[in-house]
Amino acid sequence: MVIKALIFDVDGTLSDTERDGHRPAFNQAFKQTGLDWRWDVALYGELLAVTGGKERIRFFIERYKPALKNDVNLADMIAELHQAKTRIYTELLATGKIPLRPGVKRLLQEAKEAGLKLAIATTTTPENVTALLNYTLGEDSLNWFEVIAAGDIVPAKKPAPDIYLCALKKLQLSADECLAFEDSENGLKSSLGAGIKTVITINDYTVNHDFTGAALVLSDLGEPENPCQVLHGSLYRERYLSLLGLAKL
């Protein structure tokens, strides 16, 4: 069946946001709130096993600060911390310090010009998605995407397939007509759970994840002058992932 839509995860896939975006934003939010918490690179790698920012804060409290559960209204505290973190993250994006990963803009433009539908399926908040697109691709880029499925619009976050099933429903396409782009094991489980063939682009946090079932595993999407590394699958002698390479998948 002919591919009619590309569905992208956001954090770690469109941009390497986790290490240099979300993590420092969380730390600044903690500091502004008067908390002495600091998520270093290693600890944040552990916390990334939990998808969703609010869920990540709750997991951290339950594991490392359990006494807090008896002292504060946990739901309100988590919501306030997450709101502060989202604001700080948006400010970081506005400075241009969080660029798109190699090949992302090129492939999006190729797909758009070829008439393919574009969609997003992510556990991050809609505000984070909007900010990233605005500051990396321009305000008009929101119109590139027919569907933006983000945040708490589904009952279960990745690795559950809910967010991809939601995107498929909104696109009015079958799983066979779509291709997903992910960067993590949880993301892959989510897309495969919805029956969607998936391309993985790894990052520092996910390099050792289990990507069994992925159609293709790459270092990144690559550029003509900056080829990507193929870790699983084949680009059929291409040096970067293009629409031609996707068709051959």
Give the separation between CA 146 and CA 98, rounded to whole angstroms: 24
H or E stretch at 104: helix 104-113
Q: Which two tokens stand for residue 204?
A: 């520092």
One-letter amino acid for residue 164 of the chain = Y
H or E stretch at 216: strand 216-218
Give, rounded to a whole angstrom, the gap between the first and last alpha carbons of the chain. Answer: 11
96: left (phi > 0), else alpha (psi -120 to 50), else beta?
left
Give the separation between CA 231 and CA 206, rounded to whole angstroms: 13
Give the separation between CA 88 and CA 123, rounded to whole angstroms: 18
One-letter amino acid for residue 194 of the chain = A
φ, ψ dihedrals at 5, nearest 5°:
-150, 145
The one catalytic residue among 9, 162, 183, 220: 9
Q: Does the annotation count 71 as an active-site position?
A: no
Give the separation between CA 249 and CA 230, rounded to whole angstroms: 14
Please report the beta strands in 30-145, taking only residues with DSSP state E, as ranges in sequence order: 117-122
Q: Which residues contact 171 (CB under 8 A, 6 or more apart)?
A: 5, 7, 117, 119, 146, 147, 178
Q: Any idea which residues carry the catalytic annotation?
A: 9, 11
